[in-house]
């Protein structure tokens, strides 16, 4: 293997940074899941009376969110083809799907008959879904910034730039699947 080939296959500082960043995010959510399952194990009744989640509507929102992982993949593919306009379009579609997902979270919160201070379930429910929602919002803002950079005068490679947003978005998507299964399916 030549020195040039070794350098080409070496991880970039950006990719190392993204992996470290996502690892810290994983630890954050692991703490929330640990709290969820600890509270669930210690509770006599879980979820408590008066908790009636919108499982069907949230399942549909989950499908929308999973679809957004497909659209961001299309943004990365467009970036690899040097199709900057296509990458920006797919980033916009992904952001729109993420916004629809967030709208469901807000709609559910507005109809829940319990609050963050009602009981332990309410506290951990709002912490899990709320922090996840903040991460989705952060991902939408990141896509806006990446889309602006890719569409603007930046000479940064479109594929590498979009891949950063995609790695984060896929991570947030996988975390949501774990939240959905833990909160809405397993209860």
Confidence of residue 187 (pLDDT cuts 50, 70, 90): confident
Hey, is 155 helix, strand or coil? coil
Domain that holds residue 29: 16-185
pLDDT digits (tens, 9 = 90+) for 19-51: 899 999 999 999 999 999 999 999 999 999 989
Hey, is 97 helix, strand or coil? helix
- CA-CA distance, 95 to 145, in Å (whole number)? 11
Q: Count Cβ atoms within 10 A of the Cβ of residue 101 and give its class: 0-12 exposed, 13-18 middle, 19 or more buried.
A: buried
- CA-CA distance, 35 to 131, in Å (whole number)? 14
**CB of 72 within 8 A of CB of 165?**
yes
Q: What is the pTM of this model?
A: 0.91
∠ CA(21), CA(27), CA(30), 5° rounding?
Answer: 140
**CATH number of the domain encompassing residue 178:** 1.20.120.80
Across residues 87-98, what is the average pLDDT?
Answer: 98
Does 3 fall in a domain?
Answer: no
Question: Checking phi first, is residue 154 left (phi over 0); if not, alpha (psi -120 to 50) or beta?
Answer: beta
Does 88 fall in a domain?
Answer: yes
Count of domains forming the chain: 1
Does 4 fall in a domain?
Answer: no
Does 10 fall in a domain?
Answer: no
Does 37 fall in a domain?
Answer: yes
Does 28 fall in a domain?
Answer: yes
């Amino acid at each position: 293997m030549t020195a040039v080939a070794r350098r080409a296959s070496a991880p970039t500082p950006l990719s190392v940074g993204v992996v470290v960043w996502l690892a810290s995010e994983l630890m954050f959510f692991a703490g929330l899941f640990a709290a969820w399952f600890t509270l669930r194990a210690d509770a006599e009744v879980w979820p408590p009376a008066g908790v009636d989640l919108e499982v069907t509507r949230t399942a549909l929102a989950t499908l929308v969110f999973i679809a957004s992982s497909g659209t961001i993949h299309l943004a990365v593919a467009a970036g690899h083809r040097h199709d900057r306009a296509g990458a920006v379009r797919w980033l916009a579609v992904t952001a729109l799907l993420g916004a629809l997902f967030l709208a469901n979270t807000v709609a559910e919160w507005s109809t829940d008959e319990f609050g963050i201070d009602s009981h332990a379930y309410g506290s951990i429910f709002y912490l899990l879904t709320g922090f996840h929602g903040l991460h989705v919002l952060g991902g939408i803002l990141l896509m806006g910034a990446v889309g602006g950079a890719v569409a603007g005068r930046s000479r940064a490679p479109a594929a590498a730039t979009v891949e950063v947003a995609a790695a984060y978005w896929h991570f947030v998507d996988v975390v949501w699947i774990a939240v959905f299964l833990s909160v809405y399916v397993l209860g």
